[in-house]
Structure 1
């Protein structure tokens, strides 16, 4: 499984790269803020919502600490998606936040 550090992600965000970020935390967790541009798909909804994703794109998966996003990565990889797990998740991320 490919991984990315939060510093690498922040550098890509600062460079205005076109990123596909999926936040797999629960509703109450995303209320505390999300990475700008991230799409919220709770981990339990990934299998039923995978059809909404584009297999030609690479997705960066995010959760609180990295374990749930790793599970999401494993599932999506098994379905033929290109995914990257954000190491340390939101606990390690100290960049800009967006509130929805």
Structure 2
């Protein structure tokens, strides 16, 4: 139908603003309450002098990974998290199958 005109959008002007707010507000929330504290903690972690130190150093990581006690703790934590993940998946998949099949 080459001769027909397209009708203009009948959506009100405020729907585009509300669509933008639906995206902007959760992103602003994440920025304030997740990303800002995370970057603050990471910057403090790599500062050898604490909050007053203005430069970044990896000496903290050398201290962390240079001690056998820390390495054992990191190994145990990683091993326990991996085992928990595997056991959860092994137990949850058959349970999900039973619920999906018979419920």
TM-score greater than 0.5 by the shorter chain: no
| TM-score interval, normalised by the smaller of the two chains | under 0.3
Structure with more helix by fraction: 2
Task: Give the TM-score normalised by structure 1.
Answer: 0.19
Q: Which has the higher contact order (CA 8 A, sep 6+)?
A: 1
The structure number with the bigger radius of gyration is 2
Task: Give the TM-score normalised by structure 2.
Answer: 0.19
Structure with more strand by fraction: 1
